[in-house]
Amino acid sequence: MTTSERLRRPNVPLALRAFNIRRHALRMARVQGQGYIGQALGVADVLAACFFHALNYRPEDPQWEGRDRFLLSVGHYAIALYAALIEAGVIPEEEIPTYGADDSRLPMSGMCTYTPGMEITGGSLGQGLTVAVGMALGLRRKNNPAFVYNLMSDGELEEGASWEAAMAAVRYRLANLVCLVDFNGQQADGPSREILLTVPEEEKWRAFGWQVQRVDGHDLEAVVAALEQARGSEFAGPRMVIFDTRMCRGVDFLERRASAHFVRVEPEEWDLALAALERSRPQ
């Protein structure tokens, strides 16, 4: 059995993987009393479908040349990716208490030199897609059939560099490039619709020459189907999937206050948050 087959064990439902990713993220954030928890809870279903369905990789060999590259363009989502890498067995769960410590492999902002499975140092928004284009081109030139997945956010779609990269991806017909957008409708300065208008996102990216799908990012069947279509399609160019998500998904009382880029969790609320999440544990 290959690693990918083991990871896709049918006896571990994706919903349970997503639940575990949320729990790892909450436990990590609690160590520092803070973290981009709204984003991690919101994108957990998408990450579960990526790491336990779509991506090829070897947990024991994160540098394996044949791996699909998963780029975290949104560096502030690092805690979300750590949680997925822990669930995937790339990072041991025992490292959770080190989150944010000086000598930790899990710094609060993602850095590729620190963390296995972290392909790039993201965070300067708009850069991830430019790197992804170069990687996808390089892989194709080396006849490496791996795919490049680049995780972006709705706020990041406003960055000019992304649009330049979008044109280059079409120019080079990068059919091995999949851009994933966590569309939670929020960004640092408020609701995305009130900052710069990226609407209509699907039409704009299609007009640039991309294949575009848009699905509910909490409907695991739809997420899986979209990821399969993005990879399997005969389309001769780059692909994008926009996932509509809700910040803090899975922790009801945080979800209700989640209209902020940085969700505040008071010290006495971490237990409550973990208990609230527990109530959503899949059967």
Ligand X SMILES: Cc1ncc(C[n+]2csc(CCOP(=O)(O)OP(=O)(O)O)c2C)c(N)n1
Residues forming contacts to ligand X in the complex (CB under 6 A) are 39, 74, 76, 123-126, 153-156, 184, 186-188, 261
Of Mg ion, ligand X, none, which one does residue 22 interact with (CB within 5 to 8 Å by kind)? none
| Nearer to ligand X (CB atom), residue 117 or residue 126 | 126
Gyration radius of the chain's alpha carbons? 18
Of ligand X, Mg ion, none, which one does residue 124 interact with (CB within 5 to 8 Å by kind)? ligand X
- Is residue 72 within 8 Å of 85, Cβ to Cβ? no
Residues that bind Mg ion (CB under 5 A): 153-155, 184, 186-187
Q: Is the dihedral of CA 52, 41, 72, 88 positive or negative?
A: negative
Of ligand X, Mg ion, none, which one does residue 121 interact with (CB within 5 to 8 Å by kind)? none
Of Mg ion, ligand X, none, which one does residue 39 interact with (CB within 5 to 8 Å by kind)? ligand X
Report the phi/psi class of residue 143: left, alpha or beta, with left for phi > 0 and alpha for psi in -120 to 50: left
| Nearer to Mg ion (CB atom), residue 43 or residue 88 | 43
| Nearer to Mg ion (CB atom), residue 189 or residue 252 | 189
Q: Least distance to ligand X from the beta carbon of 78, Å? A: 12
Task: Give CA–CA dist 270/98, Å, rounded.
Answer: 17
8: Cβ contacts below 8 Å, ≥ 6 apart: 52, 53
Q: Least distance to ligand X from the beta carbon of 187, Å? A: 3
Of ligand X, Mg ion, none, which one does residue 126 interact with (CB within 5 to 8 Å by kind)? ligand X
Q: Least distance to ligand X from the beta carbon of 112, Å? A: 16
Q: Least distance to ligand X from the beta carbon of 207, Å? A: 22
Q: Least distance to ligand X from the beta carbon of 195, Å? A: 9
Of Mg ion, ligand X, none, which one does residue 73 interact with (CB within 5 to 8 Å by kind)? none
- Is residue 81 within 8 Å of 118, Cβ to Cβ? yes
| Nearer to Mg ion (CB atom), residue 121 or residue 186 | 186
Burial-class residue 9 by CB neighbours within 10 Å (0-12, 13-18, 19+). Answer: exposed
Closest residue (Cβ) to ligand X? Answer: 155
Q: Which two tokens stand for residue 141?
A: 């030139």
| Nearer to Mg ion (CB atom), residue 115 or residue 198 | 198
Residue 75 one-letter amino acid: G
| Nearer to ligand X (CB atom), residue 196 or residue 275 | 196
